[in-house]
Amino acid sequence: MLDAAKAALRKAVRPVTFSGAGLSAESGIPTFREAQTGLWAMYDPMALASPEGFATDPELVVGWYNERRRNVASAQPNAAHCAMAGRQDIVHVTQNVDNLLERAGANDVVHLHGSLDRDKCSGGCGHREDIDLANPLPLRPCPLCGHWMRPDVVWFGEQLPRVGWLRADQLAAEADVFVVIGTSAQVYPAAGLIATARRADAIVIEVNIEPGATPGIQLTGPAGRIVPELLSL
């Protein structure tokens, strides 16, 4: 399976990766639910990551995200991030909101669920600010319109960012090899992008800790071991 996957990637002209939480798990980045420990375990996810939750208690939501930001700041890219960043010919679409691919040196990353290293105005005026993950800013109003600033990430009940989604959809439609890393291939949006790639006759390679159920090339194991083997030329 690995040899077949490597052969496909060697011949690829427009390879694309699509990654999720399994990519960053070995860097110690917990999934949303795994992060809900200690004090946070008492909160419903909707209270921490939805427009309604933010409207109810913006300080709580910003506190939750600032703890996640400091966690990402103290984490390091793992071998999978580094192997992906080393392939400048590949565009990386990710659902992850951390910046570990960029910190590994990747120069073309499409964040489908936004990024922790940016805030945006909750009033929709378009104002955005870069955030230092090690020293995130507390809750504060937008300097342009006075609404609260909020993390520039996708919350429950929100649409994916239009520009990022259109680019990901186009990349999938034009891909000849589509590598799914550390995410379920059966749920939205992965399932939709994989279906688009298949319609374009792309070879789909799936790297996951659990064996996948979708057709295509399955590589089972931790991303930090499989991805460097897969992407080495």
Q: DSSP E strands: which ranges in 1-59? A: 15-19
Choice between 142 and 154, CB closer to Zn ion:
142
Choice between 123 and 164, CB closer to Zn ion:
123
Choice between 153 and 175, CB closer to Zn ion:
153
Region 67-86 residues binding Zn ion, contact defined as CB under 5 A: none
CB of 99 to Zn ion, least distance (A): 24
Q: How far is CA 153 from the centre of its chain?
A: 10
DSSP strand pairing (114-121 vs 177-181)? unpaired
Among 91, 93, 110, 121, binds Zn ion (CB under 5 A): 121
CB of 111 to Zn ion, least distance (A): 21
Q: Is 205 in the site for Zn ion (CB under 5 A)?
A: no
CB of 147 to Zn ion, least distance (A): 5
- Answer whether 78's CB lies under 8 Å from 26's CB: yes
Choice between 141 and 157, CB closer to Zn ion:
141
Q: Tell whether the torsion through CA atoms of 104, 109, 114 and 118 is positive or negative.
A: positive
- Catalytic positions: 113
- Give the relative orientation of helices 223-231 and 2-11 as an angle to the nearest 10 degrees: 50
CA count, 13 A, side-chain hemisphere, 42? 3
DSSP 68-115: HHHHHHH----HHHHHHHT-TTSEEEE---S-HHHHHT-S-EEETTEE
CB of 129 to Zn ion, least distance (A): 10
Region 122-161 residues binding Zn ion, contact defined as CB under 5 A: 123, 125, 127, 142, 144-145
Q: Is 35 in the site for Zn ion (CB under 5 A)?
A: no
Choice between 10 and 128, CB closer to Zn ion:
128
Residue 63 burial by CB count (10 A; 0-12/13-18/19+): exposed, middle or buried?
middle
Q: Is 204 in the site for Zn ion (CB under 5 A)?
A: no
Q: Is 118 in the site for Zn ion (CB under 5 A)?
A: no
Which one of 55-63, 114-122, 129-137, 156-164 is the stretch in contact with Zn ion (CB under 5 A)? 114-122
Query: What count of other Cβ atoms lies within 10 Å of the Cβ of residue 1?
Result: 10
Size of site (CB under 5 A) for Zn ion? 7
CA gap 139, 92 in Å, rounded = 31
Query: What residues make contact with Zn ion under the rule CB under 5 A?
Result: 121, 123, 125, 127, 142, 144-145
